[in-house]
Amino acid sequence: MSLSLTLNETLNYDISKMGGESVSRKPTANVVDLFSGAGGLSLGAARAGFCVKGAVEIDPEAISSHKKNFPLTLHFQTDISTLNGNRLRDLFELHNGDLTGIIGGPPCQGFSSMGKNDTNDVRNSLFSGFFRIVSEAKPKFYLAENVPGILKEKYSGIIREAYSFVEEQYIMLPPLVLAASDFGAPTTRTRVFFIGYRRDEMNPITRETLSYSEKETTHVKDALEGLPTLISPTWQTEAESWRVVEVAGNGFFASRLHGQIPYGMGDPSAIERLKKERKVSGFLGTKHSKEVATRYANIENGKSDPISKSYKLKPDGFCPTLRAGTGSDHGSFQAVRPLHPTEPRVITPREAARLQGFPDWFQFPPTKWHSFRQIGSSVCPIIAEHILGTIRKAISPTLEGELLNEHKY
């Protein structure tokens, strides 16, 4: 049985059933995404054959984006430190073995090499909070994502505390450090994944299986193929940001841009515009002075602007890790954005989304600041799909080859 709908089926879906009710053809392996953000990890889970039953996120803009892209998911906006396992199960109506997995990317700012590396950053405690909830809710598996910096010796106490919640209940794989570019994504974004599973509930999972990839390489030029290159700096509103796009090629990455829409996912109006008009949102322009534009034009690909520090993307290279900037509680600073490989400007939100591995039908906020924050904070859905697809097969090996329909618009 297929676990995804064609585009027409998605658009014709009974809206009255949205909100998490059990409906036919819906995947039955339920996961809850803690620290869901806009939904990079959730998208990977859905494409891997899981039902994203619930999402927890404290940021109102991020959970708003998640709701738009995951209309069948139950959403709860709160700090996870206020939750326990029983409360989580009650919120998302998951009892009697209905909770298959808990996934999430606890805040990484305290561990990031770009941050202050503060061992006392209050956000660091949320990493242990994730494992506490896992120990209480008792899913079949868990997956936590973070930056490689968390593996530094000075954070070992935080990891030991987190492990103490689950080490007697789960088979715990050693931390797995993976680069998204090795799995078909156009970004070098490297993250560490903490994975555990119950021996009596699942087949064995190995580091070798999780680390193996046979996907073709995707470069910057491949990711941006079919997008408009001439972006007017006057395109400053959401209405002006919708532009005609195309998809070139028929490989793995191209198949994820306009197709592979999991069951019940996506904003129907955005999918409709993609289908009928081939229009996609997110092409918001940035006003550069003539002096800045000239300077950007003269920068070699693969080099950075000495003043703005913006890196000029190489067409045949990978995008470096996109940064999120800071939230309103930490100064609301905009992260440095890369420069387009052929145009004298910074990239648009939609270009950033493609470079991060998001499909064109995935919706982000109508402002650049919120869009870049959510894209930069997200787990690359390409690598999330790979890891969670491997985990999904360990639960139901017969599901292999039946996770998604091949369709593209």
Q: How far apart are CA 63 and CA 76, in angstroms?
A: 8
Q: How far apart are CA 318 and CA 330, in angstroms?
A: 29
> Tokens 């869901």 sit at which residue?
36
What six digits make up the tokens of 355? 């470079």
Residues with active-site annotation: 108
* The 3-state secondary structure of the chain, one letter per residue: CCCECCHHHHHCCCHHHCCCCCCCCCCCCEEEEECCCCCHHHHHHHHCCCEEEEEECCCHHHHHHHHHHCCCCEEECCCHHHCCHHHHHHHCCCCCCCEEEEEECCCCCCCCCCCCCCCCCHHHHHHHHHHHHHHHHCCCEEEEEECHHHHCHHHHHHHHHHHHCCCCCCEECCCEEEEHHHHCCCECCEEEEEEEECCCCCCCCCHHHHHCCCCCCCCHHHHHCCCCCCCCCCCCCCHHHCEECCCCCCCHHHHHHHECCECCCCCHHHHHHHHHHCEECCCCCCCCCHHHHHHHHCCCCCCECCCCCCEECCCCCCECCCCCCCCHHHCCCCCCCCECCCCCCECCHHHHHHHHCCCCCCCCCCCHHHHHHHHHHCCCHHHHHHHHHHHHHHHCHHHCCCCCCCCEC
